[in-house]
Chains A and B, each alone.
Chain A
Amino acid sequence: MSTLYACVRAGEFPAQALLRLRPDLQSEPVVVLEGRAPHEFVCAMNTHAFRRGATLGMMRLDAEGIAGLRILGRSAETEATARTVLLEYAARFAPRIEEASEGTACGFVLDIAGTERLFGPPAKLAERLRVELAAAGFRVSIAVSVNYDTARMKAAATRGVSIVPEGAEAVALAKLPISALNLKEEHLDTFAIWGIRTLGELAALPEVELISRLGQQARRWRDAALGELPHMFQPLEPVFTLKEFCAFETPVEQIDSLLFIGARMIDSLVARATDRALSLAQLTAHMKLEGGSVHERVLRPAIPSTDRKFLLKLLQLEIAAHPPQAAVHSFELSAEAGHCSTMQLGLFTPQTPEPSRLDVTLARIKAIVGEDRVGAPMLEDTHRPGSFRVGALAAEGSVCDEPQTQRMVLRRMRPPLPVRVTMRDFQPTAFRDGVSLFEITVAYGPWRTSGCWWSAGEWNLEEWDVLAERSDGLSIACLLVCDQARNQWQLEAVYD
């Protein structure tokens, strides 16, 4: 069975990982520093910084001397997230992938044998892979070859897409420097003394003489230089996680700046979930704040969604309603995948609010009236009058065919209005609500209720249904309650 490998290599990965979610910095010269102060040195940079004169290994003081250079710190968490994203994108084209990262470069070798019918010839696949990774914020070089090491070394040495024809591996590698073999310093010195500087020159050496001088390892080097070194492919088994992370060089205070990054993160998460025919069922925004505290918000859409604008709006409303109490050092957005929702619409089904739109509407209303003051009322399992809680609104209605009868409706006073009641023969005859005097014409009662005597939530009430008349002729029917525990009368509700 023939083999075919495509090596994807993202050079200067610490810089690429940091700039991927920061399009505002992509047009500026940026270097990434590694190490502890004061021995920090440049470990990665972008092209703009290279043109300004920045070099790898440069110390912080030297880097600060270059005008206009943006200096960022290396973030292992950001790189790990970016590596996962790169791997996710590569996995769109081949299921068997082996890691081939070297130094600060992140690389993967894809086993693309047999994918011609899906993606066309290797050149087309490589170009499509490059374009998709560019859209995700990665600048990569791609090399395709039937030999694993040829693809790996060619991708490391060249930019853009390189296709090595079968049988022309030695020619393709001939001009690469001998350092592409990752030799030890002593061996590099030996080859330098011999005047061997390229893989082509190494491949031209006689095999037996080479092995007799440098041992059996020299045979592997020569085979690699000829593009003939066999390789045992060890595919990765990545765990599917939807997570994006961004560390800021300076703490961010404005919510808009945070959402700018959040939008890119949501785009990436949605794209990755969509690839697997999944939706985002839950989003968790995790923020590390200045001072060491953590701020976390969880978003749960009514139905799993892949609508970027909708998810971003939810995130915006949630962060606006619960802003972080300090500037944000790093922002992580993770998601739980859910199955795409399907809804069968019908001509005769009642119209109900669209779930995703309702989510945004409820979030907006919660921002106006308060978090706990919007929802569907639910009765508590208790005899205490006026007990309820607020739950979630049903997304779909259910039809009820039971006959309907009208019952007197109470309008509750929240909190109950304290009143002063005049009693005669154990019957209330008048009450005053602080503003007006009501003469009670008829009083029905008392109805006594009590409960929870074993706990602090005890109640002991005496209820009266009264018909009362104000001096200006206004008649009302209301519910007067005498709290026996506190010996206090209250206007609890009005019949309406």
Chain B
Amino acid sequence: MSTAAALRRQIEQDLEGRFPAALTFAPRTIREVASTGIDAADELLDGGLPVGAISEITGPASSGRTTFVMSFVARRTAEGRVCAWVDVHDALDPESATANGVNLRQLLWVRCRDSAQNVANRSRPWTRLDQALSSTDLLLQAGGFAAIVLDLADTLPEHANRIPLATWFRFRQAADRTRCSLLVLGKAAYAQSSAALAVECAPLRVEPAGGTVLRGFTYEIRRGRQRSAEVNVSRMHGVRKPPVSTWSAGAAWEAKKRA
């Protein structure tokens, strides 16, 4: 046994009463993952999005975040599972969902709305947020949903950041218990430490066809936090390869043209 190993063992034995295995990395939970349906993203995320955990998909408008989440939902419904979309700003487009292969009959859509007294004052979206959080809570408790998307993409960060941390903890526990992938779609990361994975999306370029038709977009995704990943040795030494990947989404009319 080398001197360093012997020294480490001795220190651990001395501190055992107060800190078990003080100099050993804590074992990480290797979670089951589900494919996103995007090869580049699956490769970047070691197989896909975690099952039974919260994943945060963040990015500005037109960054491909909704397309990314839609692809994941399409994949899950294609496996015969049931998913839910909690839509804070009633922005889901069923036509786009169908174009991406989502089986609409297996997608529960919860459309939040302003209550009667708040319609006049649109600057206070608390009611919509409350509805979304309550609905998400109920769906998580009910169980049986393979994925639940909490769509906060159009919610201002100053509003979404006021969601209590206890709510995210509760969601994390419920998602773990019911083996549901809770996807939080937003402009920024809100679940913080409760999220097992954070993915940042960004627009890269537009693909026009002949200068007259919009043919598609190329997006960039960047992996943020990933709790369940295996420890990367190179990361321990401070040499970290940027976990970035690119992927493309075509226009719906391109699909029809090819067909």
Whole-angstrom CA separation of A20 from B175 in the bound complex = 45
- Within 380-410 of A, Cβ neighbours of B (below 8 Å) are at 385-386, 388, 390-391, 393-394, 396-402, 404-410
Complex contacts, B250 vs chain A, CB 8 Å: 405-408
**Contacts A444-B212, A494-B61, A495-B62; A405 near B255 (Cβ below 8 A):** yes
- CB-CB contacts of A353-389 with B at 8 A, as 1s and 0s? 1100110111011001110011111110000011010
Question: Residue A352 at the B interface, CB < 8 A?
Answer: yes
**Contacts A406-B250, A408-B251, A444-B214; A377 near B143 (Cβ below 8 A):** no
In the complex, the answer to whether A386 meets B206 with C-beta atoms within 8 Å is no
Complex contacts, B61 vs chain A, CB 8 Å: 411, 474, 476, 494, 496
Whole-angstrom CA separation of A465 from B146 in the bound complex = 34
Whole-angstrom CA separation of A410 from B74 in the bound complex = 15
Question: Residue A293 at the B interface, CB < 8 A?
Answer: no
In the complex, the answer to whether B153 meets A496 with C-beta atoms within 8 Å is yes
Whole-angstrom CA separation of A393 from B113 in the bound complex = 20
Q: How far is the CB of B144 from chain A (nearest CB, A)?
A: 3
Question: Residue B179 at the A interface, CB < 8 A?
Answer: yes
Question: Residue A163 at the B interface, CB < 8 A?
Answer: no
In the complex, the answer to whether B144 meets A374 with C-beta atoms within 8 Å is no
Question: Residue A493 at the B interface, CB < 8 A?
Answer: yes
Question: Residue A104 at the B interface, CB < 8 A?
Answer: no
| A contact residues, total (Cβ < 8 Å) | 61
In the complex, the answer to whether A353 meets B145 with C-beta atoms within 8 Å is yes
In the complex, the answer to whether A358 meets B80 with C-beta atoms within 8 Å is no
Whole-angstrom CA separation of A375 from B74 in the bound complex = 17
Q: Which of the segments B6-14, B19-27, B95-103, B237-245 contacts the partner chain?
A: B95-103
Majority secondary structure of chain B interface residues (helix, strand, loop or mixed): mixed
For B249, give its contact among A390, A407, A465 (CB under 8 Å).
Answer: A407
Complex contacts, B105 vs chain A, CB 8 Å: 376, 378, 391, 393-394
* A349, A361, A467 — most chain B CB neighbours (10 Å): A361
In the complex, the answer to whether A409 meets B67 with C-beta atoms within 8 Å is yes
Complex contacts, B229 vs chain A, CB 8 Å: none
Whole-angstrom CA separation of A373 from B86 in the bound complex = 11
In the complex, the answer to whether B81 meets A351 with C-beta atoms within 8 Å is yes
Closest partner residue, chain A, to B96 (CB atom): A409
Question: Residue B37 at the A interface, CB < 8 A?
Answer: yes
Complex contacts, A476 vs chain B, CB 8 Å: 61-62
In the complex, the answer to whether A496 meets B106 with C-beta atoms within 8 Å is no
Question: Residue B231 at the A interface, CB < 8 A?
Answer: no
30 contacting pairs across A/B (C-beta < 8 A): A349-B80, A353-B82, A362-B108, A365-B134, A365-B138, A369-B111, A369-B112, A377-B92, A379-B104, A386-B93, A393-B108, A396-B80, A404-B37, A404-B75, A406-B67, A406-B247, A409-B97, A409-B249, A410-B93, A411-B91, A411-B93, A414-B90, A414-B91, A477-B206, A477-B214, A493-B93, A496-B63, A496-B65, A496-B67, A496-B153
Query: Lowest 9 CB-CB distances: which A-B pairs, in order?
Result: A353-B144, A397-B80, A377-B94, A496-B66, A406-B249, A361-B142, A394-B105, A373-B111, A411-B91
Q: List B residues at the A interface (Cβ < 8 Å).
A: 37-38, 60-67, 70-71, 74-75, 77-82, 90-101, 103-113, 131, 134-135, 138-139, 141-146, 153-154, 179, 203, 206, 208, 212-214, 216-217, 247-252, 254-255
